[in-house]
Amino acid sequence: MEPLVKSNGINKKFTSTGKHSGFKVDLHHTGLNEYKHLHAPDYDALMGKIHNQNAAWKEKWEKHLLQDAWHKSEKTADRQTQAALKKIQDIENILEHTLSVNDAINWETLKQKEAFIDRAASYPGYINTDKKNGCPKSVEYLETLPEPQKADFFKTIGWLDKALGRSSKIQKRQQESYDLMCKAVALENTIRSTQNAARENDFKKIKEAWEAKRIEHEELMSAFNREIDGQYELYASKDNDAVAEYNEMVLNNSQYSDLLPRDFDLQYSNDNGLLIVDYRLPALTDMPNISGYRYIKSKGATEEKRLSQQNIAKLYDSAIYQIALRTLHELYEADSVNALQTISFNGYVIDTNPSTGHEEKTCIISVQATKDVFQEINLKGIVSSKSFKECFKSLKGIGSSKLSAMVAIKPILELDKTDKRFRAHYDVAHRLDDALNIAAMPWEDFEHLVREIFEREFSSNGGEVKITQASADGGVDAIAFDPDPIRGGKIVIQAKRYTNTVGVSAVRDLYGTVMSEGATKGILVTTAEYGPDSYEFAKGKPISLLNGSNLLHLLQKHGHNAKIDIKEAKAILRNTGH
């Protein structure tokens, strides 16, 4: 039985600027224990890649099943050794590989120029199509039957029939047969003419439908190509988001060994031509650890020859330095509009900490290089001498003496991950006392109070809470960032200074916001109460509902007393017009 190919489902892919850039999926072949991250600009293209990957895995698995037999021959051991050495060679040649490639994006190749093809359409058998594109091109008509020939009906009357006076009767029968055939032929031709007219009409409709599809295809293609032109214009104008997206394309196009997982975030500023790159590096466990195979005749089996831990660590350090230098080279080489003056590269590793068992993100390497300085480097000479570390150090790059030790370092420059929606905040809690009815306070003050209390709640483990721009209905009021590796992440907070029961629609809206923000949780805080339908909807979802009593308890926890009097609040708000 063939092992199962598992996936995390097809998800939308977004650029570092939050723009939808296509679709992605992570696949895992359980038999080969191989992982593949696939992405494509549109859904159909991704499905094609998934199909191709499954076909490749199927072929590889079939070969895998034959390995037991192959292991019994020295020839197979040699082939396996060559394959193992190829994996090591790919790592050793990370930088060299890119020097023969032009990394600039050819915008014309991004455009759609395919002629319309519709071979899958099913047409009647009398419609002939062009084999190249499936276009209906002609009709096979029913032939018109020829008129009956009199000679076939009016035969010469013999002397005996004449002598017996039967000529007139014979002539009459011949005439009747001829007339009957003429009528039959005429009727059949009328029917065929009607059928041919129907065929002609069918062909016309089918051709028009095909043309309509072709026109729609070309219009969609033109619209897509206009969008490419628009993206190029933004890139050429050095728009911050467009430059970041262009360089993300450059890195996505870069071909690496399948052994190396890659992901990256980019941020560009045209004020100083600075591009910051947060790059996911391979972990030490991603390195190949087999140098070859040998066939043992006495055992009738093939044994692996493994790399020493020292050699794996050496290979890893070389790979990381090469990735950093290669990334700088590719980005600068692809900079066709001279948008980049400086690149700051931060290399992160996401791996399980053996002491805690938790997955952690660690920055182990950071380097910043200006364009003019980097382009003075002779990378071919660096490759020839394999002086990758020395080159990195000459650029004032920072990292531990042994990168394989995964020692965390502080990046030279970090991505600014602040949300543009955030606004300045002010504290409110110090004004609270037993007499202050928070259900009647101005809604802006209430939002800031909620932000302030949750900031104190999350600050114990390094979290932070930021308040967003004011909205007409007090919508997404704050966003918390909890660094806890288990329960943490991005948390959306909504504050509802209500004097009536909060309806289920508000809870639904919060859930939708959690999904659209990519948050791990949503918290809805109100001065009032929730209806049973609200609690029912929140069941099993990453949503917490805090009513007035919960809020007062949270305030008391952090040393503040206040009150919530809904009846009094209604009267106050009615009199003040709020």
Structure confidence at residue 462 (pLDDT): 62
Helix (H) or strand (E) holding 193: helix 167-236
Structure confidence at residue 473 (pLDDT): 39
Structure confidence at residue 577 (pLDDT): 58
Which of 444, 484, 487, 439 is CA-nearest to residue 468?
Answer: 444
Distance, CA of 90 to CA of 338 (rounded, Å)? 31
Query: In this structure, are residues 3 and 20 in contact, taking their beta carbons and an 8 Å threshold?
Result: no
Distance, CA of 350 to CA of 362 (rounded, Å)? 6
Residue with tokens 């230098």: 325
The one-digit pLDDT tens for each residue of the chain (578 residues) are 556 788 888 888 787 777 777 888 888 888 888 888 888 888 888 888 888 888 888 888 887 776 655 555 677 788 888 888 898 898 899 999 989 889 998 999 888 888 888 876 788 989 998 888 889 999 999 999 999 998 888 888 888 888 888 888 988 998 999 999 999 999 999 999 999 999 999 999 999 999 998 899 999 889 889 988 999 999 999 999 899 999 999 998 888 877 777 788 899 988 889 999 999 999 898 899 998 888 777 777 778 899 999 999 999 999 999 999 999 999 999 999 999 999 999 999 988 777 777 778 889 999 999 999 999 999 999 999 999 999 999 999 998 888 888 888 888 887 765 555 555 567 777 888 888 888 888 888 888 888 888 888 877 666 667 656 544 334 456 777 776 656 667 888 888 888 889 888 888 888 888 877 778 888 999 999 998 989 988 998 889 999 989 999 988 988 888 899 988 888 888 876 55
Distance, CA of 441 to CA of 474 (rounded, Å)? 14
Cross-strand bridge partners of residue 13: 22
Which of 408, 404, 389 is CA-nearest to residue 313?
Answer: 404
Any idea what the Cα angle at residue 239 is, between residues 256 and 519, rounded to 5°? 65
Query: In this structure, are residues 406 and 349 in contact, taking their beta carbons and an 8 Å threshold?
Result: yes
Query: In this structure, are residues 334 and 104 in contact, taking their beta carbons and an 8 Å threshold?
Result: yes
Cβ neighbors of 85 (< 8 A, separation 6 or more) are 291, 292
Alpha helix positions (H), 423-547: 443-459, 504-517, 532-538
Distance, CA of 302 to CA of 69 (rounded, Å)? 10
Query: In this structure, are residues 483 and 462 in contact, taking their beta carbons and an 8 Å threshold?
Result: yes
Residue with tokens 């952690």: 360
101: helix, coil or strand?
A: coil
131: helix, coil or strand?
A: coil
Q: Is the pTM of this model over 0.75?
A: no
**Radius of gyration (C-alpha) of the chain in whole angstroms:** 38
Helix (H) or strand (E) holding 465: strand 464-467
Cross-strand bridge partners of residue 545: 524
Distance, CA of 530 to CA of 500 (rounded, Å)? 9
Residue type at 511 in one-letter notation: Y
Structure confidence at residue 373 (pLDDT): 93
Cβ neighbors of 206 (< 8 A, separation 6 or more) are 123, 127, 136
Return the exposure string of 432-441: e unless at least 16 CB atoms fall within 10 Å of the residue's CB, then b: beeebbbbbb
Distance, CA of 405 to CA of 386 (rounded, Å)? 21
Quick one: DSSP state of residue 485? T
Distance, CA of 543 to CA of 523 (rounded, Å)? 6
| Token code pair at residue 433 | 């006392």
Structure confidence at residue 471 (pLDDT): 47
Query: In this structure, are residues 367 and 297 in contact, taking their beta carbons and an 8 Å threshold?
Result: no
Query: In this structure, are residues 522 and 514 in contact, taking their beta carbons and an 8 Å threshold?
Result: yes
Cross-strand bridge partners of residue 369: 343
